[in-house]
Structure 1
Amino acid sequence: MFGVRLIAYAPNGDRLGLLPHPLSVQTGHPLNDLPAMTLKYSRHALGAGLLAQPCELAVEWSEDGLMWTEPPDGRFPLIRRRADQVDETGLAM
């Protein structure tokens, strides 16, 4: 069973926690260019508080759900936040 998950880390530091319920995630790793990520996460979802602070987001993958691997260039600094405060669904990012 192939799986992908997101982990929040302090900038250049310790693991903060898992982001288990993204609404959507898109990553791009173009050849000879910088990778990029777009993330949509609800303010009401478990782990959303981790995104309210400066952090890095790591993408990890697993073939069996037990051993997780962070690929090269698999970490993304959170550099932009946006949220619609009126949206009751709590869409953030």
Structure 2
Amino acid sequence: MTPAELLAFEARNPSWRGNKETRIRQQLGLTPARYITLLIRAAESEEGMRADAVTARRVRDVPSRQDRRARLVDVCTIVCTDVSLRV
């Protein structure tokens, strides 16, 4: 599967609503985890950027779950510290 094919699939199916996992399995023959791995690799490749720069950039800019969790902890720490200083 080429980066262009992966990015084209992602452009047609941008959200996880509905049965995206089923479509990934049926249309691409991949597990969702493998799809995400290949999609990220495709988005970071020069071929992927040439094929669909907009989708590649969108895929690359989505923060990982770990990044989101770390930012949430940082925000909670700041807010909790801020609140405790005012009390």
Report the TM-score range of the alignment, normalised by the length of the smaller protein.
Answer: under 0.3
Between structure 1 and structure 2, the one with the greater Rg is 2
TM-score in terms of structure 1 length? 0.24
Q: TM-score, normalised by structure 2?
A: 0.25
Structure with greater proportional strand content: 1
